[in-house]
């Protein structure tokens, strides 16, 4: 039995087997097998369900937070990297049905594919068991992430925090220089933040966004000091 089924069993949730299988079919597999149905419609639904559940939770959990802070919190926990990490924890990758090209390029561990598959699975769960079940599933996986994000302060979004700091210091808006290396299935990115004529420490990541956040953190801490 898969890790995700174990999680659903703990919550007493039953998911329709056919919808579960459909949620794991990537379009690359569909194209190689006679254009069979794939998971993108379920992903569309799951994206909306996840956004609603998280937004409702943030609104109720933090009654004193302004809209801007709530938006940053939501962005911190509902993004491709965060969803992919949740999917990895549920061991979704090995269950995916991928085309030969995606398999060869490491698609089972690509953040974009894993994030989409997680949303598709949530869509399948919503259709199978309803809103209450979707709520329970999302809360189990995301509540701790929300609490951690709320405690990050400037680290909730280093790029925005750096931009705000630069405006306060009147040193001009930050820019980023990004380089990438490695094969398609294992790309690595490195970024540096530039403010005026200052270049700050480089940071790496598995995505351009992740690397830029790391670079913004380095610049923010240096300028703050």
Residue whose C-alpha is closest to residue 193's, from 182, 184, 202, 185: 202
Active-site residue, from 47, 150, 157, 212? 47
User: Packing angle between helix 131-150 and helix 111-129, nearest 10 degrees?
Assistant: 140
Distance CA(69)–CA(5), nearest Å, equals: 34
φ, ψ of residue 204 to 5 degrees: the values are -110, 170
Q: Is 116 annotated as a binding residue?
A: yes
109 annotated active-site: no
SS3 call for 125: helix
Range 29-38 burial, b when 16+ CB lie within 10 A, else e: bbeeeeeeeb
Q: Would the annotation count 43 as a binding residue? A: yes
Give the Cα separation of 215 and 177 in Å (integer).
9
Query: Does the annotation list 16 as a binding residue?
Result: no
Three-point CA angle 55, 56, 60, nearest 5° = 115
Largest CA distance in the chain: 59
* Residue showing tokens 């923010």: 220
Q: How many CA atoms lie within 13 A of 109 on its CB side?
A: 8
Active-site option among 9, 85, 119, 180: 119
Active-site annotation holds for 47: yes
Binding residues: 43, 116, 119
Which of the residues are catalytic? Answer: 47, 119
Known binding positions for Mg(2+): 43, 116, 119
């Amino acid at each position: 039995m898969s890790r995700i089924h174990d999680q659903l069993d703990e919550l007493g949730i039953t998911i329709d087997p056919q919808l579960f299988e459909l949620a794991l079919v990537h379009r690359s597999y569909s194209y190689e097998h006679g254009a069979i149905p794939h998971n993108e419609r379920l992903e569309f639904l799951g994206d909306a369900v996840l956004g609603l559940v998280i937004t409702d939770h943030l609104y109720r959990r933090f009654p004193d937070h302004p809209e801007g802070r709530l938006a940053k919190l939501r962005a911190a926990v509902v993004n491709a990297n965060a969803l992919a990490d949740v999917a990895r924890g549920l061991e979704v990758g090995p269950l995916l049905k991928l085309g030969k090209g995606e398999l060869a390029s490491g698609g089972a561990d690509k953040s974009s594919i894993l994030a989409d598959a997680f949303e598709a699975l949530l869509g399948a769960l919503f259709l199978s068991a309803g809103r209450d079940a979707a709520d329970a599933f999302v809360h189990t996986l995301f509540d701790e992430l929300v609490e951690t994000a709320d405690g990050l302060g400037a680290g909730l979004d280093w790029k925005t925090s750096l931009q705000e700091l630069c405006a306060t210091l009147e040193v001009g808006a930050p820019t980023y220089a990004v380089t990438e290396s490695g094969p398609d299935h294992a790309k690595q990115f490195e970024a540096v933040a530039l403010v005026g004529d200052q270049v700050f420490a480089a940071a790496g990541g598995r995505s351009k966004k992740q690397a830029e956040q790391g670079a913004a953190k380095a610049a923010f801490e240096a300028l703050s000091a």
